[in-house]
Amino acid sequence: MQLGKASWMTEELLIVRDSVQKFIAAEIEPHYEAWEQQGIVPRELWNKLGEQGFLAPDMPEQYGGAGGTYEHLAMVIAEFARHGYATIAGSMIGVHSGIVNHYILNNGSEAQKQRYLPAMASGEMVSALAMTEPGAGSDLQGINMTAKRDGNGYVINGAKTFTSNGQHCDMVVVAAKTDTTVAGSKGTSLIIVDKDAAGFSRGRNLDKIGLHSADTSELFFDDVRVDGDALLGPEHCGFAVLMNELPRERLTLAIGSLGALEGALQWTIDYIQERQVFGQPLAKFQNSRFKIAEMMTEARALRAFVDECTLLLSAHQLDTATASMAKLKSSELQGEIIDGCLQLFGGYGYMREFPIGRAFVDARVQRIYGGTSEVMKEIIARDILGR
């Protein structure tokens, strides 16, 4: 029974998967544990990812991309996740390629597209998305960062936290209040800030319980002035832009979760067939057999749902509630399955040299970022039952 076989797989996508596997063997596997110890990946890794076309597989060729579809991006993310490299699958490619690229492609001016997208595709420019604040997490209506009009531009003040790619970023898309006289999501805009803007500074690279090599930072904006052409999308309509992009963002997270749990399942199946206990392989014990049967069934059912959502997104038919279902189910199941897999590894599962242990701690954040499981449930409930 084959894990990771998507219904939308094609010969072309198999070639993409093969190129990711070769890249992992040559450029990631020998170094990843050292990066985990160092707490960050090297900046040149971005350039190597760009050289292979992994940073813009679904971007138009006119903007430096490979001209592929969302399935090309999904394949890249899923394969890095399946091999246990969650930092690259999620924090790097997921944010940079799955989110920021599309914010600019779908909402940016032609000048913004020409300036940022080709450089993002090559890895010359690393992007970040600064939404979360110390007092505002999944509820973006509570943001306090301000961007006040000043002539033809804006002056930005405030702080962001939990920002993926914050240490390496060359530009960051920030959500800020451009009209403080209105409440809630109204009056919010998205603004692009370049790293050399006066008043912009990076705080510490945050120490996390998982994703140790992921660059996750505090960012500070002290009277940062940007020109009016830094506005991404219409003024005061940033929340609407965010909502329009949520299906892609949450499906991308779901694909990462699915890849990770499928990878963990494969490691576990291989391990219990070799590990001897009481004179026979673990795979001969009823508990092991039944547990694998249960987890495989759950994984196959989730695969069918995520594949359906992937095809819906490609057809521009994936709604926010359905994407939220995919994110909710996949992230929760990722935690359950990887926990079950680690148990079958026994004491070795608790050792850092076994990838299942890293997958266990890396999985926990999937139920938090991109909207917590509780927020996903509220979104789904509103779609079914109303407010």
Residue with tokens 């749990």: 261
> Contact 100/120 with Cβ under 8 angstroms?
yes
Active site residue ranges? 249
Output the six-digit token pair for 369.
């970022």
Spatial distance between the Cα atoms of 204 and 202, rounded to a whole number of angstroms: 7
343-346 own/partner pairs: CB under 8 Å, 24+ apart: 343/291, 344/268, 344/271, 344/272, 344/282, 344/288, 344/291, 344/292, 345/268, 345/271, 346/275
Helix axis angle, 320-345 to 286-314, nearest 10°: 160
Spatial distance between the Cα atoms of 365 and 324, rounded to a whole number of angstroms: 16
Contacts of 231 (CB under 8 A, 6+ apart): 154, 189, 190, 191, 192
